[in-house]
Structure 1
Amino acid sequence: MLELDHLVLIAPSLAEGVEHVRASLGIAMPYGGAHPEMGTHNHLLRLGDGAFLEVIAVDPSAPAPTHARWFGLDDAAAVRAEWDAGRRLRAWVARGRNLEALLAAQGGLFGEAMWVSRGDRRWRFGVRPDGALPAGGAAPCVIDWGERGCPAPAMPDLGARLERFVIEHPDPAGLRDLLTGLGLGRLPDIREGAETRLRAVIGTPEGPKEIG
């Protein structure tokens, strides 16, 4: 069984990502930390006890890894093009256990499990050899946090809550079948669209707001 863990804004820089969240939600995201295995860093916003929003970008002060970075972050030109086109919320992550069995059953969709860390946390994450997003971002990346579980409950509570997660896709029925087959306990709101686009409605102290 998989369940939604977090939503991901893939940014050309942390400053641009954090500013987009501030402009969209009226909330200043706290800094998260760095991922030495990936050469990336992030900011994190709690969206309840079991979910959060992440802004992630390449860490310019960190050495580049010898393998592909996650979330397609090695392709700086593509990250910039998507960002400038308004496609900023581009990935989502689902958590589960027994990650190796899931990855083996899904062929090349998710890649291979890698150990990743941030501060005193270590976890397993499915990364494709080319670092690309599963199904162009329509399918989740997969994570196993281990015994410590999702870090959302330990994050500052700034009053943000996930109210709705929407995926637009050219083949909504096919995407529903794919996600159901992965064992997702609760599917996103899947709608027909000309291209894959992700957006979320977030409850804030000032009322519900949308980010995409």
Structure 2
Amino acid sequence: MELDHLAVAGTTLEEAAVAVEEALGIAMLPGGQHDVFMTHNKLLGLADGLYLEAIAADPTRQAPSRPRWFDLDNFSGRARPTNWICATDDLDALLGALPVEVGEPVSLTRGDLRWRKAVPADGKLPFDNLFPSLIEWNCDVHPASALPESGCALKRMIVTHPEAMAMRDILAPHLSDARVIFESGTPALRAEIETPHGLRVLA
């Protein structure tokens, strides 16, 4: 597993994008629409092959035939970081090795992008949606490599949950990233990002 990107959800895509732009002082770029889950996004490239994704239900599309990923059907309140996504070269093997239910693989496309994503049937990830969502890219070009440099770099991502240490122990055999910090407390996700304007916090 490797940290791939962070998702900031909103009741609308505009709200999610504005939350990122106001926090970091950097404009997000157009993304696209997602079939199957009927969502849409905007993107911001980060250093080290990472990126930020603002995401929301797409009101121009019909309702999906299954619950939306990231539990977006139940999202409410202010736009905020809600999910972190980790990439793997072998999604099936990783799902078989994890002791928690992270979902079943769903094949997806957007333009030239091809990927498989583990999505729970009800859209809800373990640990109040704070367990990482798993992705396997099946295309030659990663989305981050197609984004212009923004001058932003993730310094720390803090995953807070009452059972954060249990989550850390489950992930320890598969994920080694000093930027990912687990803390006990009220469920939340916080990203500390170095920007051209100095260190900013997205929470």
Shorter-chain TM-score bucket reads: over 0.9
Distance apart, 1:167 and its partner CA: 1.2
CA distance in 2, matches of 1:185, 1:145: 20
Give the structure 2 partner of residue 64 of structure 1: 63
TM superposition shift of 1:127: 0.4
Give ranges in structure 2 of 5+ residues lacking alignment. none
Q: Percent identity?
A: 40
Equivalent pair of 2:71/2:129 in contact (CA under 8 Å) = no
8 Å CA contact retained: 2:114, 2:139: no
Q: In the alignment, what sits opposite 1:150?
A: 142
Q: After superposition, where does 1:57-206 map in structure 2 within 5 Å? A: 57-75=56-74, 79-81=75-77, 83=78, 88-106=80-98, 109-148=101-140, 150-181=142-173, 183-186=174-177, 188-193=180-185, 195-206=186-197
The offset of 1:160, in angstroms, is: 1.2
Q: Deviations over 1:78-114 (max 9, x none)?
A: x113x3xx7x111100000111122233365211000
Specify which structure has the higher proportion of helix: 1
CA contact (8 A) 2:13 2:41 kept: yes
| 1:145–1:173 distance in 2 versus 1, CA, 3 Å | same
Match status 1:20 vs 2:19? yes
Q: Deviations over 1:107-161 (max 9, x none)?
A: 6521100011222211000000001123223310000012425321211212111
Contact 1:134–1:141 (8 Å) recurs in 2: no
Residues of 2 paired with 1:110 and 1:123: CA distance? 16
8 Å CA contact 2:48–2:153 kept in 1: the answer is no
| TM-score of the aligned structures, taking structure 1 as reference length | 0.89
- Extract structure 1 runs of 4+ deviating beyond 4 A: none
Amino acid in the other structure paired with 1:38? F
Amino acid at match of 1:7: L
How many Å separate the matches in 2 of 1:151 and 1:58? 20
For the residue of structure 1 that corresponds to 2:47, the secondary structure is coil
- In structure 1, runs of 5+ residues without a counterpart are none
Aligned length: 202
